[in-house]
């Protein structure tokens, strides 16, 4: 079990990877949000939508132990057109499965190392995921604009949507 310092370091590393990955996605024309709950009750670290409606999901891994302890990542794939792992430069890239794309990131930016295979969503699933993402983003924007209002944790991850 990790001690408090290890946990704090892992959280800081994950936050840096997320920041750099979101910057990369924006450079690629996608708008992303963090922590979106899917219809199967899994929570994507980053969900993003492109100008043509394409949906990408990114799973952030702060280290090898984080990667090895996560067997649920295939459950994200039915909810996106492309699925990626984002890691830092020290992560052993050969661990990332071929079914996923690979992004290497730090707090300032990121690079695509390996493209994610594309699997188009069905129109009904695309609509459901797009609506969930849009409502979650709008809810978070409303919460940020209204200093006196606090959304429930369920609402902030879209469980209540």
Q: What is the pTM of this model?
A: 0.88
Residues 6+ apart with CB under 8 A from 140: 33, 151, 156
Poorest-confidence range of 45-54, 102-111, 129-138, 146-155? 146-155
Q: Where are the beta strands (DSSP E) in the chain?
A: 31-37, 43-49, 55-60, 82-87, 101-106, 109-114
User: Is residue 49 in some structural domain?
Assistant: yes
What mean pLDDT do residues 146-160 have? Answer: 62
Asked if residues 42 and 72 have their Cβ atoms less than 8 Å apart, the reply is yes
User: Is residue 159 in some structural domain?
Assistant: no
Domains in the chain, number: 1
Q: How far apart are CA 35 and CA 42, in angstroms?
A: 10
21 CB-contact burial (10 Å; exposed 0-12 / middle 13-18 / buried 19+): buried
pLDDT at 1 > cutoff 90: no
What is the extent of the structural domain holding 48? 8-144
Q: Mind listing the pLDDT tens digit for each residue in 36-54?
A: 999 999 999 999 999 999 9
pLDDT band for 161, please (50, 70, 90 cuts): low
């Amino acid at each position: 079990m990790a001690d408090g310092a290890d946990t704090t370091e892992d959280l800081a590393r994950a936050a840096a990877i997320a920041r750099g990955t979101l910057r990369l996605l924006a450079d690629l024309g996608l708008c992303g949000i963090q922590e979106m709950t899917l219809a199967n009750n899994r929570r994507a670290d980053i969900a993003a939508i492109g100008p043509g409606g394409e949906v990408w999901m990114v799973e952030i891994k702060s280290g090898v132990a984080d990667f090895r302890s996560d067997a649920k990542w295939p459950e994200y794939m039915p909810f996106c057109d492309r699925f990626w792992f984002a890691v830092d430069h020290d992560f052993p890239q050969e661990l990332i499965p071929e079914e996923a794309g690979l992004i290497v990131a730090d707090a300032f930016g990121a690079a695509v190392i390996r493209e994610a295979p594309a699997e188009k969503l069905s129109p009904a699933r695309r609509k459901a995921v797009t609506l969930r993402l849009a409502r979650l983003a709008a809810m978070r924007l409303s919460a940020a604009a209204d200093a006196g209002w606090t959304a429930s944790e369920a609402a902030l991850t879209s469980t209540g949507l």
